[in-house]
A and B are shown apart, each in its own frame.
Chain A
Amino acid sequence: IQLTQSPSSLSASVGDRVTITCRASQGISNYLAWYQQKPGMAPKLLIYGASTLQSGVPSRFSGSGSGTDFALTISSLQPEDFATYYCQQLNSYPLTFGGGTKVEIK
């Protein structure tokens, strides 16, 4: 299953609302996760089940979607949110990831 993330990069300011989308090449129900990755670090789980916030993750992060179209929204971008974000499908094996979205400071 191929996952297409967009945009591949974006520039935003602190306080901005940011939305990243992920489209699956076939239906994956709600078996989608979102991760945040900072340079030199392992991915960090933000959202699972397409819309469930992982424990300890700030409530400014939210996920939505089902089937083939999904989105990750950051309601008010904070300095620590500048990172690369990946979606991952867990519907079927082999597990696959989107190409990533790099969120940079404007």
Chain B
Amino acid sequence: QLQLQESGPGLVKPSETLSLTCSVSGASISSSNDYWHWFRQPPGKGLEWIGYIHYSGTTYYNPSLKSRVTISVDTSKIQFSLKLNSVTAADTAVYYCARPRSNNLHEAFDIWGRGTMVTVSS
């Protein structure tokens, strides 16, 4: 059964780069033809979509974050990563990786990681 697990530093200093990894178990990123997504949720607030990567390496980002975001796939094809540079306190949030029900860009998300809290503070 497919499972996702986020990992990375829980504390990042302002102006530095936030780096997170989503480990995939129960499936291979390189053979699934799936889209792999990142979301985030500031404390006490709603959900925001960050971007996705296709197993081929194609990416698409939220225009509100596009200038600061990079999503990549690990060459071993068992994890994908999120980098967000020039962070501020507004980037403090729980970050989730997720996969939609099928390899369709209009599908809902049935598989989510448990989320990882990242705090931006000096």
A joins B in a complex: yes
**How many contacts between A and B, using CB within 8 angstroms?**
51
- Across-interface contacts of B107 in A (CB, < 8 A): 48, 90
Interface residues of A, count at CB 8 A: 22
Candidate in B46, B64, B106, B115 with the most chain A CB atoms within 10 angstroms: B106
Q: How far is the CA of A45 from the CA of B112 in the complex (A)?
A: 9
Q: How far does the Cβ of B22 sit from chain A's closest Cβ, in whole Å?
A: 12
- Across-interface contacts of A96 in B (CB, < 8 A): 49
Contact with A43, one of B47, B48, B63, B64 (Cβ below 8 angstroms): B47
- What does the 1/0 interface line of B40-80 toward A look like (CB < 8 Å)? 00000011110000000000101110000000000000000
Q: How far does the Cβ of A86 sit from chain B's closest Cβ, in whole Å?
A: 6
Q: How far is the CA of A101 from the CA of B49 in the complex (A)?
A: 18
Using a CB–CB distance below 8 Å, which chain A residues touch chain B? 31, 33, 41-45, 48-49, 54, 86, 88, 90-91, 93-100
